Chain A
Amino acid sequence: MHTVTRPIIIFLCICLVMLLLFPAVGSPFYTELVTRIMILSIFTISLDLLIGFTGLVSFGHAAFFGIGAYLLAILFNDVEHINYWWSLTLTLSMTGMAALVIGWLSIRTSGIYFIMLTLAFAQMCFYFFFESPHFGGDDGIFLMNKPEIMLGSRQLVDLENEHHYYYFVLAWLVGVYLFLSMILRAPFGHVLIAIKANEQRVRALGYSTPHYKLVSFVIAGTIAGLAGFLEAAHTSFVTPAYLGWHESGMAIMMVILGGMGTLFGPVIGTFIVVLLQDFLPGFTEHWKLIMGGIIIGVVLFLPNGVAGLIYSLTNRLSSKSKEAGREHV
């Protein structure tokens, strides 16, 4: 199990400062791109809770991203003044319900069967939206007005303003990270991590493991819904592709590339993949080949992803000043 050591905290703080300063130096195009990456990072972090901490490899996690996005677009399609907090609460609670139903049916299985079931549920959701003319079918659906983020009668964040939205999403990303770190340090998290290591033994020690897995699934699904909501509010446009297996697969790849079971790893993975997708096509038209090569390289040579590399680097740096007898509970 990875513990967040002091050098890692320093590293994360540096990253945070860089993200805080970025809009001051970055072009509007890149500010928008990084906003999108941060939204996707919220999505991949939530997947890491399942894959990296609970041992549930979900191949249908994009379903909740898509459901969150669609719910905002459908429920508030022609509402003139969308109250942000109200629409968020409604969207997240409904996404959470969807995760509860799908999770309840899926967590009875494990291994490859769990992967297949989650994939099948996600594809069902995909085809539901794909084939329903009411919700835009394969063309997708537009959101007429953006939600208004009010605090009392004052506007807190202007969603039309790219800088505002950037910081707003960054705040959500930090919030989600801190929230997940909190539950992972709490008794609940200890049980989850142990379930991933040896579920049968955890059961024999007195824990109803299916309940813990289900709660984890619902938390992850709800956070994925949050990411979908943020994306829909950002682009005002939702297509069925949001729910496709391609999205789920990309998310798994980002988690593994970045380093699962670390929370910050998936964020790094998301940045790397999306930025490569942005840069590589400029160099060569065979960029997908190069991309594949990079991914194979990382998986082969960095078994714990980029986060694993960062861990071993910081360990080497701090090995001299290592606090002896530190307890990792």
Chain B
Amino acid sequence: MSEIILKTEKLCKNFGGLKATDNISLDFERGKVHAILGPNGAGKTTLINLLSGELLPSSGRILFKGYDITDARPEKISRIGIGRSFQKTNILPGFSCLQNCWIGAQSCLMTSMRFFRPAKHLREVHRRADHALQLCGLSSKRNQIAATMSYGEQRQLEIAMMLATEPELLLLDEPLAGMGSEESQQVTELLKELAKEQTLILIEHDMDAVFSLADTITVMVDGAELETGNVDQIRNSKAVQDAYLGHDEEDAA
């Protein structure tokens, strides 16, 4: 068994009386794609928010490469190599694609508290921003203002901004949500490409994508872990079909 890059221990998050995350203990292996499934409101985004420092857990611990990062703030999490994308598109709408990625790329500097030389002379930042745009197929749109792009392209930019920080662990919150089938295909290919080098924690409703990408799948219901296993185990699990896959078909119908 390979190295555990991220580990949660009895992680809980309560919103008032609601247990949005209920005693989650999971191991995420380096180099693998770990998908998290669950019906709407299962607490998937909340879990990502805990891992990325956006929310502080009510109890429990988070360990990244053995270090306790339970109380770390989002900027710290990003700096140690964990990137995230948001379910609700969260970009700088008035900026060009390049500028959006630039901010992510500039975090390769020790600090951006630099006041004298123009930023545009920073070669490494250029390289990172260009690379992220290219990976997401946005190179031709680099000077287009983000707000004027199609919804699918904005979703791609959302991923590109995260990639510009060159994380080793990627937290992806429904990267395919709302995309057309062609775009969705492209992004699935991109995720496959990324999975070769990096570790992915992927929340996604698109079953085809999940089953084709994931090495491990965890199914969540009402904030708690229902079952974790490989693709075949989850596909054939009675409990999962009752709790989730069944739901999904009802929803679709």
Contacts and interface: CB of A to CB of B under 8 A. Distances in A.
A315 interface: no
Interface string B68-108: 00000111001100001010001111111011001110110
Given A185-B119, A205-B161, A329-B119, A190 B107 contact: no
B112 A329 contact: no
A164 interface: no
Contacts of A329: 98-99, 102, 119-120
Interface in A194-242: 194, 197-198, 200-209, 211-212, 215
Interface string B95-136: 110110011101101001111111110100000000000000
A86 interface: no
B115 A182 contact: yes
Contacts of A292: none
A328 B146 CA distance: 13
Contacts of A326: 143
B152 to A, nearest CB: 19
Interface in B41-58: 52, 54
B114 to A, nearest CB: 5
B165 A206 contact: yes
A191 interface: yes
Contact of B165 (A1, A183, A205, A325): A205
A209 B94 contact: no
Contacts of A197: 92-95
A198 B95 CA distance: 11
Contact of A207 (B107, B114, B115, B119): B107
A206 B78 contact: yes
B109 A187 contact: yes
Interface residues of B, number: 40
Interface string B153-177: 0000000011011000000000000
Contact of B84 (A191, A204, A207): A204
A183 B143 CA distance: 23
A182 B116 contact: yes
B95 A194 contact: yes
B165 A188 contact: no
Contact of A1 (B90, B99, B120, B122): B99
Contacts of A183: 115-116
A326 B98 CA distance: 12
A186 B143 contact: no
A329 B96 CA distance: 9
Contact of B107 (A182, A205, A211): A205
A327 B93 CA distance: 17
Which residue among A191, A203, A204, A212 has the maximum number of chain B CB atoms within 10 Å of its CB? A204
Interface string B137-152: 0000011000000000
B99 A188 contact: no
B49 to A, nearest CB: 10
A86 B92 CA distance: 44
A191 B143 contact: no
B118 A185 contact: yes
A327 B164 CA distance: 18
Given A1-B95, A329-B98, A201 B90 contact: yes
Contact of B115 (A186, A201, A208, A211): A186
A215 B75 CA distance: 17
Nearest to A194: B103
Contacts of B96: 328
A190 B162 CA distance: 17
B94 A191 contact: no
A198 B106 CA distance: 16
Given A1-B99, A187-B109, A205 B143 contact: no
Nearest to A207: B75
A201 B91 contact: yes
Given A186-B116, A208-B75, A198 B90 contact: yes
A328 B94 CA distance: 12
A60 interface: no
Which residue among A186, A202, A212 has the maximum number of chain B CB atoms within 10 Å of its CB? A186
B48 to A, nearest CB: 11
Contacts of A212: 112-113
A186 B118 CA distance: 4
A189 interface: yes
Nearest to B117: A186
Contacts of B115: 182-183, 186, 188
8 contacts: A185-B119, A186-B114, A187-B106, A188-B113, A194-B99, A204-B84, A205-B103, A215-B113
Given A202-B103, A204-B90, 5 more contacts: A190-B102, A190-B119, A198-B90, A204-B84, A207-B112
Interface of A: 1, 182-183, 185-191, 194, 197-198, 200-209, 211-212, 215, 325-329
- Please provide the 7 A-B residue pairs with the shortest distance between their CB atoms, ordered closest to farther: A206-B78, A206-B107, A187-B112, A197-B92, A185-B118, A183-B115, A187-B114
